[in-house]
């Protein structure tokens, strides 16, 4: 059991007594942000039976609610274990790191904060706080406009982030002395366990391509054309795309995507109202039949939108690689 520092308890009392509604939690990696967020939610719920708490989990790598690669919204309950808390809303980011994903991170977090219906909203953020990460956190502050920011810091950490926003109410708290650094292999193992758990009840589903709205890729935005020897080709506003089998010569004026590019690609799934529903793993696109096969625990009937992600994942949860945006 991790030690709860006395200042943490004092911060909960301040949040309660001042009725601050939006609480943004910031801090470097391994500062105990998730532990603080869970503690804060539990203390707020225990203090008043009329209290309701929304938790926006914007750490897309090390998740409290749902699997990695998505920002999620949940409503903690006093006697419900965190491992059983299911997302009430999703925003698919598509990767386990915010790097290269600043816009979906800001838009998704703001959307779920605005969606939350509770007396308090606690927002957990990734430990991505320097360089590009500082820019991300700054935009999150401006988008969310929190009533209070909780900064879990050692010494003068986060000064470059917090000084420009010093007119925002900020409580600087020391991390728990028992917080332990998690090396990259442990973090990856945690993510793969979360993926494995999420996809354990997944089923195979097949969709006609014409029934799906496909997003976050140039392919499938143009007009299909017959261009032998390629199994698929289309003319887009940005040039002609072809799907090319290995070792097939491709003229320089064509943009080639390797055959099998879609296999094991993680994707986000939404309904016709653009509400995120969960994740899937693309198994195969049959260009001749015009179908897409998917592995997902999400019920098939409402799925209308598929967003391609940046991560390849096996059905066993293993991370298999990253999508190459230079290619597609």
Taking the chain, what is the end-to-end CA distance rounded to the nearest angstrom? 46
Whether residues 158 and 301 share a domain: the answer is no
Whether residues 206 and 260 share a domain: the answer is yes
What is the model's pLDDT at position 4?
83
Asked if residue 188 is part of any domain, the answer here is no
Whether residues 66 and 140 share a domain: the answer is yes
Chain centroid offset of residue 66 CA:
9
- State how far the Cα of 316 lies from the Cα of 93, in Å rounded to an integer: 21
Looking up residue 268, the CATH number of its domain turns out to be: 2.40.30.330
Looking up residue 34, the CATH number of its domain turns out to be: 3.40.50.300
Whether residues 144 and 270 share a domain: the answer is no
What is the model's pLDDT at position 127?
94
End residue of a domain, out of 152, 181, 210: 181
pLDDT tens, residue order, the chain (328 aa): 567 889 999 999 999 999 999 999 999 999 999 999 999 999 999 998 899 999 999 999 999 999 999 999 999 999 899 999 999 999 999 999 999 999 999 999 999 999 999 999 999 999 999 999 999 999 999 999 999 999 999 999 999 999 999 999 999 999 987 778 889 999 999 999 999 999 999 999 999 999 999 999 999 999 999 999 999 999 999 999 999 999 999 999 999 999 999 999 999 999 999 999 999 999 999 999 999 999 999 999 999 999 999 999 999 999 999 998 877 8
pTM equals: 0.94
What is the residue range of 111's domain?
6-181
What is the model's pLDDT at position 181?
86
End residue of a domain, out of 151, 181, 211: 181
Query: What three-state secondary structure class fits 318?
Result: coil
- State how far the Cα of 311 lies from the Cα of 191, in Å rounded to an integer: 12
Question: DSSP readout, 184-248?
Answer: HHHHHHHHHHHHHHHGGG-EEEEEEGGG-EEESSSTTSSEE---TT-SEEEEETTEEEEEE-TT-
Report angle CA 137, 143, 144 to the nearest 5 degrees: 90
CB atoms inside a 10 Å sphere around CB 67 = 25
Split into its structural domains, the chain has a count of 2
Whether residues 173 and 215 share a domain: the answer is no
Whether residues 160 and 216 share a domain: the answer is no
- State how far the Cα of 212 lies from the Cα of 84, in Å rounded to an integer: 31
Question: DSSP readout, 120-181?
Answer: EEEEE--S--STHHHHHHHHHHHHH--SEEEEE-STTTTHHHHGGGTTS-EEEEPPPTT---
């Amino acid at each position: 059991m991790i030690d709860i520092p006395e200042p943490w308890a004092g911060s909960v009392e301040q949040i309660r007594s001042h009725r601050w509604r939006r609480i943004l939690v910031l801090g470097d990696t391994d500062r105990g942000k998730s532990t603080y967020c869970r503690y804060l939610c539990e203390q707020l719920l225990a203090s008043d039976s009329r209290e309701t708490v929304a938790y926006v989990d914007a750490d897309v790598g090390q998740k409290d609610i749902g699997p990695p690669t998505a920002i999620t919204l949940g409503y903690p309950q006093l006697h419900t274990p965190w491992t059983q808390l299911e997302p009430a809303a999703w925003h698919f980011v598509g990767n386990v790191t915010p790097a290269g994903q600043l816009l979906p991170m800001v838009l998704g977090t703001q959307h779920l904060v605005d969606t939350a219906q509770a007396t308090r909203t606690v927002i957990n953020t990734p430990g991505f706080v320097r360089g590009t990460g500082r820019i991300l956190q700054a935009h999150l502050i401006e988008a969310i406009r929190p009533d209070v920011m909780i900064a879990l810091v050692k010494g003068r950490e986060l000064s470059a982030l917090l000084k420009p926003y010093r007119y925002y109410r900020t409580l600087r708290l020391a991390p728990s002395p028992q917080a332990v650094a998690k090396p990259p292999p442990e973090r990856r193992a945690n993510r793969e366990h979360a993926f494995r758990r999420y996809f354990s009840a997944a089923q195979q589903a097949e969709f006609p391509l014409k029934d799906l709205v496909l997003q976050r890729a140039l392919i499938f935005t143009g007009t299909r054309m017959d261009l032998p020897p390629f199994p698929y080709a289309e003319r887009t506003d940005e040039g002609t795309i072809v799907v090319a089998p290995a070792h097939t010569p491709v003229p320089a004026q064509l943009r080639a995507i390797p055959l099998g590019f879609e296999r094991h690609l993680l994707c986000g799934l939404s309904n016709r109202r653009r509400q995120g529903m969960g994740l899937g793993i693309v198994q195969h696109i049959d260009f001749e039949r015009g179908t897409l096969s998917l592995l997902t625990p999400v019920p098939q009937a409402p799925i209308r939108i598929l967003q391609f992600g940046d991560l390849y994942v096996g059905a066993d949860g293993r991370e298999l690689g990253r999508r190459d945006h230079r290619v597609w």
